[in-house]
Amino acid sequence: MRSFDPVRLGSREAGAWVAYYRHEWWRFLRCAVGMVRTGFGMSWPRTLLGAWFVLRANQKWAPYPDNDPDAARRLMHRFYRQVTRATGERFDIAEAARLEIAWWRAHRELQRERPGSGDEELVDALAALYAHVYGIPAADGRQAGRLRAEAMRLSDTWVEAGCDPTSPLVDGERVALVRSYATLLAAVYR
């Protein structure tokens, strides 16, 4: 989990975002398998189960405005339990799940309710998650959070434009995610 490949992870997450917004859940699951395997290095059985939890959490979160954040948080709790069991990492699972949903909420508010406003709350939420899960200072996770928020802004523009999977915005999103994960990896090793 502390030696992931930023290019593979960012590419898989970009694919997952495309699938999420197009409601292509089987494709999302395939991308989630790749994200979990690349990002956390778990065994295949744990990777598959973890990816399933990520898929189901996203499906509970997806409806707007009538989503189920509590169900999404419970599913992410199950995901992070798999992570700690597989990796031996010692972080508070409930807090990790809460922080995961906190950045989802911050992004949704920017995307749906305050599209022209600043993204500091989202960056802070991402940095808090990174600090908690990886045991790094939140300040060290801010640049990774900022780059991931940039990827989300590109994704939001792509969604507003109609979700064309061949749009150059998808490539921009992928590049920002790769840069975000490279920055996170550097912070983990600092």
Give residue-wise pLDDT tens across range 39-80. 999 999 999 999 999 999 999 999 999 999 999 999 999 999
pLDDT of residue 190: 86
pLDDT of residue 24: 98
pLDDT of residue 116: 78
Mean pLDDT in residue range 121-143: 97
pLDDT of residue 46: 97
pLDDT digits (tens, 9 = 90+) for 11-41: 999 999 999 999 999 999 999 999 999 999 9
User: 117 falls in which pLDDT band (50, 70, 90)?
Assistant: confident
Give me the residue spans of the domains in the chain.
6-189
Cα(108)–Cα(116) distance, integer angstroms: 13
pLDDT digits (tens, 9 = 90+) for 139-166: 999 999 999 999 999 999 999 999 999 9
Residue 100's closest CA among 66, 139, 60, 140? Answer: 60
* pLDDT tops 90 at residue 114: no
pTM, two decimals, is 0.96
Mean pLDDT in residue range 118-126: 96
- Residue 32 Cα distances to 26, 50, 94, 109, 185, angstroms: 10, 8, 21, 24, 19
Residue 30's closest CA among 54, 61, 2? Answer: 54
